[in-house]
Homo-oligomer: A and B are copies of this chain.
C-alpha cells in the first residue's frame, strides 16, 4: 500500500471519490452500533450467572467474623471476601478493605474525603487555593471527571507503551506541594492498553513528594484481565514496591469484579497500607454501617479462591480475544502502511486506542456517527475533554457481537481514511 502522504492530490481525490461512494452505501444500510463504552457482552455476563444460584435461603448465614452476614456491620467486608481479594491482588489481608459495587465510587470518595477532611491531618484540599493532579494521557475519562468536578487542576502527562513520562512526573511531584495526586491505570491503560514497565513502577514507588498528602491513585481495573492468559503480562506489585521504597502510604490501589462477574453487581475493594485503611475506615464509618455482605459472600461462594477467579478470566479472554483481534486485523489490513494512524496491540484490558493524523479524531468520530457507529466522543480521553492534537480515539470492542464488530470496523476504517484525505488535501470538513 502507498502512504497517503506520498500520493499526489489527483490520486487522493480519485481515492476520495471512491471511498465516499463506499461511505454513502454503508450509510444506506441504517447501521446502529456502539463502540463507545467498555461494557462486557451478554455472553460474558452469562459466565457468572451460576453465581446467582449459590446464596439461597438454605445456606448458613454465619460469616468467618462470627456474625449473621444478613445483618448490619463489618465495615471491612467479610473476612472471606477480604481473603479472596488479597489473593487476587497478591497482598496480605490487612491491606484489603472490601466495599460496595463500584471502584469508581471508592475513588470518588477518596478524593471527596481528601477535599473535606484531608489526609493524615493535612489541610483539607477544599481549604487550599490550588490543588493539582497529574493525568497521564490518553486516560480514563471518568477519572478526569472526578478531579474536574472538584475543581482540581489537571496536568497532562504524556505516555508511551511503558507508562507515563516519569521525568515529568518526578519533576512535578517532588517539587510542587500543590500536586496531590496522579491517576493511573497501570496494567492495560485505558485506552491505550499500555503496561507500566518495572522501571516505571519503581520510579512511582520511589517518588519523594513535596506534598505530604500526595497519593498515587493506582486503578488496577484490569489486574487479571489478560487476553492471552497463557502468556500473561505481570506488572510489579505497587504494595511491595512502595513498602520496599519506604513509601508504604503513598498509594491507593483500587480494583473490582465489575468485569469479572457483573458490572454494577460486582464487588470493589481498596488496597492500601494499614495506616491508610485505618484513616479511610474512620471516615467511612460515618458514611455507612457496612457494604453488601451477602453479595460479597455470593462472590466468595462462586470463586472460593483467587486461582479459580483467574481460571474464570480465561473464559472472558476466549470471548474477548476474537473481538480485539477482529479490530486489530482490520486496522492492520486497512490502515497499515497508509501513514494515517498508529495504535498498539493490547494484551488485555477493554480498549484499543487509535491515533489519527493531527486534527482528525473529531472528524473521524463525526463521520462514524453519521454512518450509525457511536464511538467514545473525541477528546474524552483527555482532561477537560481537550485533546490538544485531536488525534486520540478510543475503541471499545467488547459489547458488540463479532459480526457487529466487523461491520463497525468497516465503517471506522473508512472514516479514518476519509478524514485523513480531507486533512491532507486541506479541505474543511
Complex Cα distance, B57 from A51, in Å, reads 8
| A146→B294 contact, CB < 8 A | no
Complex Cα distance, B70 from A40, in Å, reads 10
Contact (A39, B71) CB under 8 Å given A61-B45, A287-B104:
yes
Complex Cα distance, B12 from A27, in Å, reads 96
Contact (A49, B39) CB under 8 Å given A265-B292, A292-B264:
no
What is the minimal beta-carbon distance from A197 to any residue of chain B, in angstroms? 30
Q: Is A426 an interface residue (CB 8 A)?
A: no
Q: A99-138: which have CB < 8 Å to B?
A: 100-102, 104-105, 108-109, 112, 115-117, 124, 126-127
| A68→B53 contact, CB < 8 A | no
Q: Is A72 an interface residue (CB 8 A)?
A: yes
Residue of chain B at shortest CB distance from A116 = B115
Q: Is A240 an interface residue (CB 8 A)?
A: no
Q: Is A66 an interface residue (CB 8 A)?
A: no
A429 partner residues in chain B, CB cutoff 8 A: none
Query: How many copies of the chain does the oligomer comprise?
Result: 2
| A72→B37 contact, CB < 8 A | yes
What is the minimal beta-carbon distance from A45 to any residue of chain B, in angstroms? 4
Q: Can you give 23 contacting A-B residue pairs, CB < 8 Å?
A: A45-B70, A51-B57, A52-B55, A52-B57, A69-B264, A70-B262, A70-B264, A74-B264, A102-B290, A105-B288, A108-B286, A108-B288, A109-B287, A112-B112, A112-B116, A116-B116, A117-B149, A126-B126, A126-B127, A142-B286, A145-B286, A264-B294, A295-B295
A residues adjacent to B (C-beta < 8 A): 37, 39-40, 42, 45, 49-53, 55-57, 61, 68-74, 100-102, 104-105, 108-109, 112, 115-117, 124, 126-127, 142, 145-146, 149-150, 258, 262-265, 283, 286-295
